[in-house]
Structure 1
Amino acid sequence: MALKAQVIKAQLQIADMDRHHYQDYALRLAQHPSETDERLMIRLLAFALNASEQLEFARDLSGEGGAELWAPNLHGGIDLWIIFGQVDEKWLRKASQQAGHVKVYTYGGRSVPIWWQQNQQALQRYENLEVWEISDDSVKALGALADRNLQLQISINEGQVWIADAKTSVALEPRLLKGFKA
């Protein structure tokens, strides 16, 4: 018997002073039984960092290398494609060909520098690619916030992110490994 995904309800109040984006979002996410709380919260963090009216969670997370968060445009194309983890270069090539802007949010502690060293040179050719690293301490702190019903206040200013619920506050600063060349 297959295990069912757990539905997570998240109320986000986002104040992004870097992008001048101030909005409340009511989200429903599916957390697959194999997905950790940390990974779920990384998805919410990426949503907050890129929040817009067009941004949405992909319906199917089973396709390896597919966009997990994306912003489709009115012409049938993809403006923004977001992937998580330590992604294979061939999937990033595919994403870079299909989308105007691609972002990878990588995490995993000590394995990230190894992954980055192995892939950095190949990824430099993708001008529409950004790669961000979330520190292991930040990932653990975010995982501690996870709940089935989330009410989070998120403030973003000068690259620093503060995420708070009624009891706890987490401060983190994603580190840019590779920037987007417009």
Structure 2
Amino acid sequence: MAQPATVYRASVQLSDLDRNHYVDLSATLARHPSETAERLVARLLAFALFHSDELTFTKGVSAGAEPDLWAKEPDGRIALWIEVGLPDPERLIKASRHAGRVILLACGPNRWRWESAHLPALGRMKNLSVYALEQEFLQELVTGLGRSFQWTLTITEGTLYLNSGTTSIETPLLKLCGEDAR
């Protein structure tokens, strides 16, 4: 019998000074049994980093043909396709043919290896932007992560400042290639 997904409820008070964007976000995320906690919080961070009213979570891991997040045009075309993690480069190439903009929030323990192998070729794609988060930051975020949590996230000059309960951590948002999508 397959294990069910674990449901998390998050509340994020977002102050994105770089974009002059201030909003309180609420999200219910399902963590697939094969998904790590680090990837789960990276998906939530992607939602906050690139937030717009049109941006929504998809079925994610359980729906192989969909990204982690997307924004669609009124006619159903995909305006924004957001991947999290270290996807197969062919997936990003295919996404760039079907979406107006593609963003990858690269993260994972082997990110540097993935970057050196794939970033030179992917960097030539005109509608792809690649950002990265440090693995240590994500690991610190999941320490003591409950099924319901609240964050205060401030973004200024390309740095993320996150408060969760009594924990305060910061990390740069690394832009690896592409036009600024934020």
Pair in the same fold by TM > 0.5: yes
Alpha-carbon offset, residue 180 of structure 1 = 2.0
- Partner-residue secondary structure (3-state), 1:153: strand
1:106–1:131 contact (8 Å) kept in structure 2: yes
Cα distance change of structure 1 residues 114 and 124 upon mapping to structure 2, 3 Å threshold? same
* Equivalent position of 2:5 in the other structure: 5
Distance 2:14 2:180 in 1: 26
Q: CA deviation at 1:181?
A: 7.4
Overall identity of the aligned pairs, in %: 38
Q: Return closer, same or farther for 1:17/1:181 CA change in 2, 3 Å cut-off.
A: closer
Deviation at 1:65, TM superposition (A): 6.0
Aligned counterpart, 1:147: 146
Gaps of 5+ in 1: none
Q: Which runs of 5+ in 2 are unaligned?
A: none
1:94 aligned partner = 94
| Secondary structure at the counterpart of residue 71 of structure 2 | strand
TM-score, normalization by structure 1: 0.92
Cα RMSD for the two superposed structures: 1.7
Which range is displaced more, 141-150 or 123-132? 141-150
- Match of residue 51 from structure 1: 51
User: TM-score, with normalisation over the residues of structure 2?
Assistant: 0.92
Deviation of the 1:105 alpha carbon: 1.2
- CA 1:65/1:178 → structure 2, altered by over 3 Å: closer, same or farther? farther
Aligned residues between the structures: 181
CA shift, 1:38, in A, is 1.0
Deviations 1:75-131 (A, max 9, x none): 21111111112221210111101111111111223x222211211232123111011
Task: Render the CA deviation track for 1:30-85: whole Å, top value 9, x for unaligned.
Answer: 11122221111111111110111111100242234631111112121111111112
